[in-house]
Amino acid sequence: MATSTMRVAAGVLLVVSALATLARAEDPYLFFEWKVTYGTRSLLGVPQKVILINGEFPGPRINCSSNNNIVVNVFNQLDHPLLFTWNGMQHRKNSWMDGMPGTQCPIAPNTNFTYKWQPKDQIGSFFYFPSIGMQRAAGGYGAISVVSRLLIPVPFDQPPPESDHAVLIGDWYTKDHEVLARQLDAGKSVGRPAGVLINGKGGKDLEAAAPMLTFEAGKTYRLRVCNTGIKASLNFRIQGHDMKLVELEGSHTLQDVYDSLDVHVGHCLSVLVDADQAPGDYYMVASTRFIHDAKSASAVIRYAGSSGAPPAPNMTEPPAGWAWSINQARSFRWNLTASAARPNPQGSYHYGQINITRTIKVMVSRGHIDGKLRYGFNGISHRDTETPLKLAEYFNVTDGVFSYNQMGDVPPAVNGPLHVIPNVITAEFRTFIEIVFENPEKSIDSLHLDGYAFFGVGMGPGTWSPEMRKTYNLLDTVSRHTIQVYPRSWTAIMLTFDNAGSSSTSASSRRRGRCATSTTCPTTPSAAARSWGCRCRHPTPPRAKDDEGAVFTSCSDHPV
């Protein structure tokens, strides 16, 4: 009897030991090595300098699962500094890896840097791109696809990997990215794009080109569509095929069906497409929205076994005007019963029942500085600092680098001159904040918040007032990281500032140039460095000290 009891006890100990080992096991690691170079490509019929990753444009797709550890060793073989940012990745407790000028020094030419990050509790469709010097206009971007962990239910039949495709659409300029950067620095606009690309192709001479995608009749395909451009909103559609929206910027959505979708700068979404048409060739189209000189790109989807005859010329155009686009944006809804990266339903987070502790109203400002047109937020046109903001805070050397809270929570009563200074505001850790963006301009803006997901609770024409809160969707608006603000309109978002560290709110439309606000979230402004030090996965910034322990206080001391 005693022997039997001992065996049972030993068995229990083995099981407990195995469970403890599993609990301690790290999530899998995925390793990538990128060589970033220039190459000459004629994407719109004009030879130009393009940023390639391992000789490819677009760059390699990162396929991973929630919580995987991603390690990307970047070798910068350009003749300019380089940074990569991972659009939509929240970098929980790890904002050193955000890849924006406020969080790290650029990678100097002919050096390398290893990014280490994790899509912690995230799923969905994202992309990466170079974040400084208008390099995004020269390429260097690629897709990121994050699938759910095993045993986490997905609210649709997930197509197999060979039926899961990234579709990167974006405007494209034939001017060199350095020329575009000089135009912005001179206070000029980058102008209208020369064309549109789909997965790096301009859609010219389609009869001679190979099909971009091949469908097999009866199968379902997942297309992850991202607008990787710098200025233009685009409409995406597939000839003769409906698209079922299933995911938007890391959230599962109600599965409504659309014949075309507006995709704004920085936005990503996933659709399911049934191959339910007669075998043949069909156009996949991305076209600019809301500009007079419309541009478009087309690619061919070919059914397996078809003759390859050219697609029929009839192609439905999207409805014109802002109203249709706004109504479509309002139709996107959170799937409250679906799980995302965690087993619990998305709707278990009742954002509409949380008290707002602070409202920040942000208005786009414009003005001339030294004869150059500049844009800003609430009268502040952000200026990047030589010392990254996060580095300055961590080592308590902010004096002489920047001052906190130069931008107020409401726009100035009088539209005065712009001030070009680092624009850094603070927010109490874990407070629930409402941010209202107003766009008095004639063109659309896309606004992105690094390090967070927020709820886009409302949008509408005109100016915002507290009465507009009655129109908010406080039940099932989508949790996301980028949202558009239509011309002469407002957009309101809500979020919890629960990711200690530094993040940035930026106007993705680079025609405005340097129109950005860096936002830090320490528990108190004076405790910024200490709160970051205890909450970051990497307690000190990579390469923040030399071999003898001396602290680098600027990127010129030692670029990454």
The predicted pLDDT at position 248 comes to 98
Asked whether residue 108 falls in the same domain as residue 185, the answer is no
Asked whether residue 116 falls in the same domain as residue 173, the answer is no
Asked whether residue 77 falls in the same domain as residue 222, the answer is no
In eight-state DSSP terms, residue 160 is P
CB-based contacts of 160-166 (< 8 A; 24+ apart in sequence):
161/63, 163/219, 163/220, 163/221, 163/222, 164/221, 164/222, 164/224, 165/213, 165/221, 165/222, 165/223, 165/224, 166/61, 166/125, 166/199, 166/224, 166/226
Interatomic CA distance for residues 144 and 68, integer angstroms: 12
In-domain check, residue 373: yes
Which residues does 178 contact at the CB level (< 8 Å), separation at least 6? 133, 134
In-domain check, residue 12: no
Sign of CA dihedral 448, 453, 459, 465: negative
Asked whether residue 387 falls in the same domain as residue 501, the answer is yes
- pLDDT profile of the chain (560 residues), mean per 10: 45 40 71 98 95 98 98 98 96 88 90 97 97 95 97 94 98 96 89 96 79 97 98 97 98 98 97 97 95 93 88 84 96 96 93 96 88 88 86 86 91 85 88 96 91 96 97 98 96 91 51 43 33 35 48 52
The reply to whether omega before 58 is within 30° of 0 (cis) is yes
In-domain check, residue 378: yes
Q: What is the CA radius of gyration of the chain?
A: 24
Joined together, the tokens standing for residue 101 give 């000028």
Asked whether residue 174 falls in the same domain as residue 123, the answer is no
Joined together, the tokens standing for residue 206 give 């389609």
The predicted pLDDT at position 551 comes to 45
The predicted pLDDT at position 82 comes to 97
The predicted pLDDT at position 554 comes to 55
In-domain check, residue 551: no
Nearest to 326 by CA among 117, 125, 471, 152: 471
**Range(s) of the domain holding residue 228:** 161-313+323-331
Sign of CA dihedral 416, 418, 422, 428: positive
Q: Are 188 and 175 in contact (CB under 8 A)?
A: no
Q: How do beta strands 380-382 and 419-421 pair?
A: parallel
Cβ count within 10 A of residue 281: 19
The predicted pLDDT at position 541 comes to 59
- How many domains is the chain partitioned into structurally? 3
Interatomic CA distance for residues 488 and 438, integer angstroms: 7
- Tell me the sheet residues that pair with 144: 62, 126
Asked whether residue 380 falls in the same domain as residue 527, the answer is yes
Asked whether residue 377 falls in the same domain as residue 487, the answer is yes
End of a domain among 92, 117, 146?
146
Give alpha helix (H) positions in 265-366: 322-331
CATH number at residue 129: 2.60.40.420
Interatomic CA distance for residues 338 and 246, integer angstroms: 11
Q: Are 446 and 452 in contact (CB under 8 A)?
A: no
